[in-house]
Structure 1
Amino acid sequence: MRPDIIVAISEACDAGNGDDRPGPNGIMNHSRRWKITLRAAVLLLIASACHAQVGAHIAGIWASEEVIPSAIHGVLIIDGQKLEWRATISKMSTPVQRNKDAVAFVLPNGAGEFRGRVVNSNTIRGHWIQSPDDINNNRYATPVELRQIGDKIWRGEIAPLVSTLSYYMSIQQSAEGSLTAVIRNPERNRFGRNVYQIDVHGDALSFSEVKNPSQGFTGNFDRITGRLSVSLPDSQPRQFGRIKNEHARGFYPRFAQDETYHYLKPVAEDDGWSTASLSDVGLDPKPLTELIEKILHVDPANNALNIQSLLIARHGKLLLEEYFYGFGRERTHDMRSASKTFAPMLFGIAREHGAKIDIDTPMYSQFPKYKEFANPDPRKTKMTARDLMTMTSGLACDDNNDDSPGNEDVMQQQTAQSDWYKYTLDLPMERDPGGEKAVYCSAGMNLLAGMVEHATGRWIPEFFDEYVAKPLQIATYHWNLMPTGEGYAGGGLQLRPRDELKLGQLYLNGGEWNGRRVVSNDWVTRSTSTQSRFEPVFGVDHEYGYGWHIYHLKNGDRTFRVYAAGGNGGQIVMVIPDLDMVVGFNGWAYGEFPKWYKWQTELVPQFIIPAARSR
């Protein structure tokens, strides 16, 4: 097309259609009617060319990446040389409160706080509690250790969870000039696999969902800056910049789409894992290579395998460690409900260390600070710790029913009761506690943490740090807190994938990690035995232990009994005892249960189990 015509079209696109005007005295004469007909045809041609021109400008990959590092981070100094101890961090200073070996302080304006203990003259160990930000509404407790650098002066490094929110949009233009878009959001998966039709009006863009056109949003293309401003639902306008394919880390599994997978033995680190190659432990690389190639070469517009990490251990050695979509070894991942499995484990550890609790302990007796409860019911007095662990509490609490008052989202979004222990204890009863029928209830599992706190007198993050994190050589984690500041045990703990896998290896080892006893073999056996049952899912029987999901996976002529910790989006730690194997997934298929659930019930028997059976 000639340059002068392109300029004319561009100007017409900018100017819009204008207004039709009648002839003299308001009468539309024949000549003007003919001119308007001709003009309409020309405008139609220009509009089509305008759409194509803007389409050519905006086709490609766009990204909006927001990172909010915590305002309070870096070096923390606690100075105890004077009668009043003081803490200094990020140019802020505040008094330190002391009670025997406990030390604590709160920064002004709720900027953050510290809770810890003087272990000895050389060490203070505790947790930094970061405040919420515009992306993450949760507070997290992160471990920190301060070492003595002078007489009664201790120094440590605060490294809170960094909040990120990213959107990757791929705009495609068909041969006919029509535009469609898909959006990927690794942190929340807000748009799933939706496809959007884009209509162009000058530089204004209208996005409508192909399957449900009434759902959509708007945007604008700035020709000067070359950026897109998009008003996503329930969000302030977000600025998108064009990026090259190799920089679209949240859209493509790996930067080189034509990459052929080459296996590399995992790197040995100072985290307790011994590493080995596939051949060292008798695994056939072919089916595992097929699985990873399947992940690498998915259709980005209809991604059924948005897996961010895949780790496998066998015979106690880490032998496969692969990351996708920009994820990496040192980054923690939200375990979602997979971290529920720690709640019964903490209960078992407390019991084994002398706490006066057991599986038949009446649950309500462990919350004496509450003088009365709503919805009194004699069945509440019969509810035990075991009923919480096996999801048979009988409370009106069903995470799979949006109308259930105990639904986790309902509890966390309401503002009338900030104490989630009390909120759950006040729920009405729907059925007798106990029995074999399990009903998925995060709030009930969280009550186990309250029982442990009461029986031990310890804050849950502190108890976890001493009896789980340190023995398992877990240096980095972020424990999410309830509005009251107590540790939430219903899900949401952030761990590195290598550390997540230790949970499965610990139970496969009968409660030991690298020769150190963490929890008793008896507790492991009971926890991984069938205690209750959910309804079958996709034709697969679904049993439950103490926080462990139990499945029977078929491969060829054999059926393998496995147990797994599982969470929304594809957070999975699966143990296959018959093969002496632990498998870990992390993903961002949030809200797409049929998708990620099949990673464990289909991908494992199709690709991972055969790797151990073919030799």
Structure 2
Amino acid sequence: MTLPAPLAAQDAKQDITGLWAAKKRFGPDVRGTLTLVREASGWRAEIAGRKAAVTQAGDTLRFALAGELGGFRGRIEGNRIRGHWIQPRSVTGGMRYATPVVLAAAGPSLWRGEVRPLDESFTLYLKIDREADGRLGVFLRNPDRNIGRNVDLRHIELKDGHVRLLGKPGGATEEVEIATGNFDAGNRLLSIAIPGRGNSYDFEPAGALSDFYPRPGLTAPYAYRPPLPKQDGWPVSTLAAEGIDRTAIERFVQMLIDQPIDSVHAQDIHAVLIARHGKLVLEEYLHGTDGDALHDTRSAAKSLTSVLVGAAMQQGTRIGPETPVYATMEKTLPADLDPRKRAMTLGDLLGMASGFHCDDRDPKAPGNEDVMQDQEAQPDWYRYALDLPMVAPPGASRVYCSTNPNLAGGVLARVTGEPLEQSFDRLIARPMQFGPYALNLQPTGEPYMGGGAQFRPRDFMKLGQLMLDGGTWQGKRILSADWARRSTAPSGELRGLHYGYLWWGIDFPWQRGKLPAFFAAGNGGQVVMVVPKLDLVVAIFGGNYGDKVTYVPQEKYVPDHILPAIR
């Protein structure tokens, strides 16, 4: 029997199947023109209608806004002031970030520059479908942090305007309640509380043009277009000109576009870039991302620590693999210091062979990254690392631990006497023509060198080209050829792969033999892969954080789709 129209319409309003999207933006609100004024009584700062007194120590300037709304630290360099804006703690991730600021002279005793903090937003997608048994199946996708993988939603229940989200977090055997909320049928609004991520989110129906999909609105087959030139140092060329099969690459990108988003584990590729013979030949972005947006590089930024050490060495800093860790970090060594700690060197930290009890895969290890970052008793993470117990002599075995590269950054800062963000800007960012970037900070304000810095994809990819070219970028010597070789050469094994100084190594099958490659890699699918024999650099960025498919770009996409296209 045909239902009366009013009742049918009412049933339709109660139908919550389909794609729902919610997005929150958390600022930060303080941004725009920063003005520094030097007066007889001292310095003062103005930004976004707020004022602050500035302290000066030599050529260094600092200030912090009331209410922890932001701050600045930098130094006077001729007629400019170069520094970094320190934004408030992130709502969804808990970290603070430092972004570069350059103030130019705008008059007598007056300097101005633009503050562009890292925008913080959080996007959630709910995909709801009716299952064969009548229940409503659901999964949650979150391209910023992928909490969907962590909560592992399975079903959603709707009754009398109230919803319950059920899942199996942490591999649970039975479904448990993850979150609750309300459904406003009249306004087509699902309001659901997400604990610890900015309170409740209002989900609205999302159509086929949503960034949930790789290329929303694209109906014609993908057609290759060469990258556009930018003022960032990258020469551009075409696939054909650099000996890469265009048809094969078009087929690969089309595969990414056609990727079904049918579960929380579906591939979430945000960017694919290829450079050959030092020229950028492919630059494609998916899921609403673009080349100007900063991307979280996660642990791929560990490799940056090795690059920064090498750049400091090239500039004459007396530091190297043999630099002692404890004698550098401590004012005086205690008489009862464990001999293994006394023997630890910077090379041990860079090679993941410190001997600390700090396995990132072992939640019981006191040096585990999550354990260290979640504890509040010791906000100084350098001190926390130095106090860790030892489980092996330095150099005896390799264990993946983010504490190691972070402490290596501390050793570098102690030797140079220069803040790490200034060293990075001076030695890497400026000479390599980086654009905007955001360095995540420790509770005490130093950049965290264990991973998580954010860069534009074209900029971060430059690190791979730098190492491929023996430490030079567009003719500029950034680090020595010897350091580039030592950092990327396999000197041991870690997790079944080769490992150097914070660079991974792998051998791909190639023409009945092996094709050596090295790469930087991070959680979520962040990869900068370098294949020296083919004069090739591949960069892939993604959003599968904490997911089992995070290794697909390096283990499948590069060897199965990109390498066969190289002539």
Q: TM-score, normalised by structure 2?
A: 0.94
**CA-to-partner distance for each residue in 1:545-576, whole Å, 9 max, x for gaps?**
01100000114524210000111111111100
Stretches of structure 2 that go unaligned for 5 or more consecutive residues are none
Supply the distance in 1 between the matched residues of 2:229 and 2:105 (Cα, whole angstroms).
Answer: 30
Equivalent position amino acid for 2:500 in 1: G
Deviation at 1:255, TM superposition (A): 0.4
Supply the distance in 2 between the matched residues of 1:163 and 1:404 (Cα, whole angstroms).
Answer: 31
Equivalent position amino acid for 1:238 in 2: Y
Is 1:363 the counterpart of 2:339 in the alignment?
no
1:564 to 519, 536, 540: 519
Q: Is the 8 A contact 2:153 2:165 kept in 1?
A: no
**The residue matched to 1:604 in structure 2 has which SS?**
helix
Residue 24 of structure 1 corresponds to none
Is 1:447 the counterpart of 2:402 in the alignment?
no
Among the aligned pairs, what percent are the same residue? 39
Residue 226 of structure 1 corresponds to 188
2:128 to 159, 164, 171: 171
Residue 560 of structure 2 corresponds to 606
Q: Is the 8 A contact 2:61 2:75 kept in 1?
A: yes
Decide whether aligned partners of structure 1 residues 240 and 372 sit closer, same or farther in structure 2, where only a CA change above 3 A counts. Answer: farther
Q: Is the 8 A contact 1:64 1:168 kept in 2?
A: yes
Is 1:345 the counterpart of 2:307 in the alignment?
yes
Supply the distance in 1 between the matched residues of 2:501 and 2:483 (Cα, whole angstroms).
Answer: 9
Supply the distance in 2 between the matched residues of 1:561 and 1:411 (Cα, whole angstroms).
Answer: 35
Deviation at 1:67, TM superposition (A): 1.1
1:189 to 139, 146, 150: 146
Q: Is the 8 A contact 2:104 2:113 kept in 1?
A: yes
Decide whether aligned partners of structure 1 residues 175 and 453 sit closer, same or farther in structure 2, where only a CA change above 3 A counts. Answer: closer
Supply the distance in 2 between the matched residues of 1:160 and 1:457 (Cα, whole angstroms).
Answer: 26
Residue 499 of structure 2 corresponds to 544
Residue 80 of structure 2 corresponds to 123
Question: Mapping of 1:268-283 within 5 angstroms?
Answer: 268-283=229-244
Residue 79 of structure 1 corresponds to 37
Equivalent position amino acid for 2:552 in 1: K
Question: Mapping of 1:93-132 within 5 angstroms?
Answer: 93-120=51-78, 122-132=79-89
The farther-off stretch of 184-193 and 476-485 is 184-193
1:512 to 464, 472, 496: 472
Supply the distance in 1 between the matched residues of 2:57 and 2:466 (Cα, whole angstroms).
Answer: 35
Equivalent position amino acid for 2:351 in 1: T
Q: Is the 8 A contact 2:311 2:478 kept in 1?
A: yes
Residue 158 of structure 2 corresponds to 200
Decide whether aligned partners of structure 1 residues 362 and 371 sit closer, same or farther in structure 2, where only a CA change above 3 A counts. Answer: closer
Q: Is the 8 A contact 2:516 2:531 kept in 1?
A: yes
1:265 to 214, 220, 226: 226
**The residue matched to 1:405 in structure 2 has which SS?**
coil
Supply the distance in 2 between the matched residues of 1:190 and 1:110 (Cα, whole angstroms).
Answer: 27
Q: Is the 8 A contact 1:55 1:173 kept in 2?
A: no
Equivalent position amino acid for 2:566 in 1: A
**CA-to-partner distance for each residue in 1:75-123, whole Å, 9 max, x for gaps?**
0111124332211101111122122221221211222111111111x21
Residue 421 of structure 2 corresponds to 461
Q: Is the 8 A contact 1:54 1:203 kept in 2?
A: no
Deviation at 1:231, TM superposition (A): 3.0
Supply the distance in 2 between the matched residues of 1:401 and 1:215 (Cα, whole angstroms).
Answer: 27
2:390 to 419, 429, 439: 429
Supply the distance in 2 between the matched residues of 1:372 and 1:95 (Cα, whole angstroms).
Answer: 40
The farther-off stretch of 321-330 and 193-202 is 193-202
Deviation at 1:3, TM superposition (A): 5.9
**CA-to-partner distance for each residue in 1:401-440, whole Å, 9 max, x for gaps?**
11111000100000000000000000000011113x3100
Supply the distance in 1 between the matched residues of 2:288 and 2:551 (Cα, whole angstroms).
Answer: 23
Deviation at 1:577, TM superposition (A): 0.4
Residue 204 of structure 2 corresponds to 241
Taking only aligned residues, the RMSD between alpha carbons, in angstroms, comes to 2.1
**The residue matched to 2:358 in structure 1 has which SS?**
coil
Deviation at 1:137, TM superposition (A): 1.4
Residue 39 of structure 1 corresponds to none
**CA-to-partner distance for each residue in 1:305-344, whole Å, 9 max, x for gaps?**
2110110100011110011111111000111110111112
The farther-off stretch of 555-564 and 399-408 is 555-564
Residue 88 of structure 1 corresponds to 46
Question: Mapping of 1:240-389 within 5 angstroms?
Answer: 240-246=203-209, 248-249=210-211, 251-256=212-217, 258-302=219-263, 303-369=265-331, 376-389=337-350
The farther-off stretch of 215-224 and 392-401 is 215-224
Residue 502 of structure 1 corresponds to 462
Supply the distance in 2 between the matched residues of 1:254 and 1:8 (Cα, whole angstroms).
Answer: 34
Equivalent position amino acid for 2:412 in 1: V
The farther-off stretch of 181-190 and 102-111 is 102-111
Supply the distance in 1 between the matched residues of 2:141 and 2:220 (Cα, whole angstroms).
Answer: 21
Residue 546 of structure 2 corresponds to 591
Supply the distance in 2 between the matched residues of 1:458 and 1:216 (Cα, whole angstroms).
Answer: 46
Decide whether aligned partners of structure 1 residues 215 and 265 sit closer, same or farther in structure 2, where only a CA change above 3 A counts. Answer: same
Residue 470 of structure 1 corresponds to 430
Equivalent position amino acid for 2:115 in 1: I
Q: Is the 8 A contact 1:136 1:163 kept in 2?
A: no
Supply the distance in 1 between the matched residues of 2:270 and 2:332 (Cα, whole angstroms).
Answer: 43
Decide whether aligned partners of structure 1 residues 316 and 5 sit closer, same or farther in structure 2, where only a CA change above 3 A counts. Answer: closer
Supply the distance in 2 between the matched residues of 1:604 and 1:556 (Cα, whole angstroms).
Answer: 15
Q: Is the 8 A contact 1:55 1:177 kept in 2?
A: no
Stretches of structure 1 that go unaligned for 5 or more consecutive residues are 11-51, 537-541
Decide whether aligned partners of structure 1 residues 587 and 370 sit closer, same or farther in structure 2, where only a CA change above 3 A counts. Answer: farther
Supply the distance in 2 between the matched residues of 1:465 and 1:138 (Cα, whole angstroms).
Answer: 20
Aligned length: 560
2:483 to 523, 542, 558: 523
Residue 394 of structure 1 corresponds to 355
Q: Is the 8 A contact 1:168 1:183 kept in 2?
A: yes
Deviation at 1:257, TM superposition (A): 5.6
**The residue matched to 1:274 in structure 2 has which SS?**
coil
The farther-off stretch of 256-265 and 392-401 is 256-265
Deviation at 1:584, TM superposition (A): 0.4
Decide whether aligned partners of structure 1 residues 372 and 239 sit closer, same or farther in structure 2, where only a CA change above 3 A counts. Answer: farther
Equivalent position amino acid for 1:125 in 2: R
Decide whether aligned partners of structure 1 residues 84 and 70 sit closer, same or farther in structure 2, where only a CA change above 3 A counts. Answer: same
Decide whether aligned partners of structure 1 residues 153 and 234 sit closer, same or farther in structure 2, where only a CA change above 3 A counts. Answer: closer
Deviation at 1:372, TM superposition (A): 5.2
Decide whether aligned partners of structure 1 residues 464 and 192 sit closer, same or farther in structure 2, where only a CA change above 3 A counts. Answer: same
Question: Mapping of 1:31-50 within 5 angstroms?
Answer: none
Supply the distance in 1 between the matched residues of 2:29 and 2:514 (Cα, whole angstroms).
Answer: 52
**The residue matched to 1:309 in structure 2 has which SS?**
strand
Deviation at 1:345, TM superposition (A): 1.8
**The residue matched to 1:504 in structure 2 has which SS?**
helix
**The residue matched to 2:458 in structure 1 has which SS?**
helix
Residue 34 of structure 1 corresponds to none
**CA-to-partner distance for each residue in 1:267-287, whole Å, 9 max, x for gaps?**
100011111111111110122
Supply the distance in 1 between the matched residues of 2:513 and 2:564 (Cα, whole angstroms).
Answer: 11
Deviation at 1:183, TM superposition (A): 1.6
**CA-to-partner distance for each residue in 1:382-417, whole Å, 9 max, x for gaps?**
111111111111110111111111000100000000
Decide whether aligned partners of structure 1 residues 284 and 420 sit closer, same or farther in structure 2, where only a CA change above 3 A counts. Answer: same
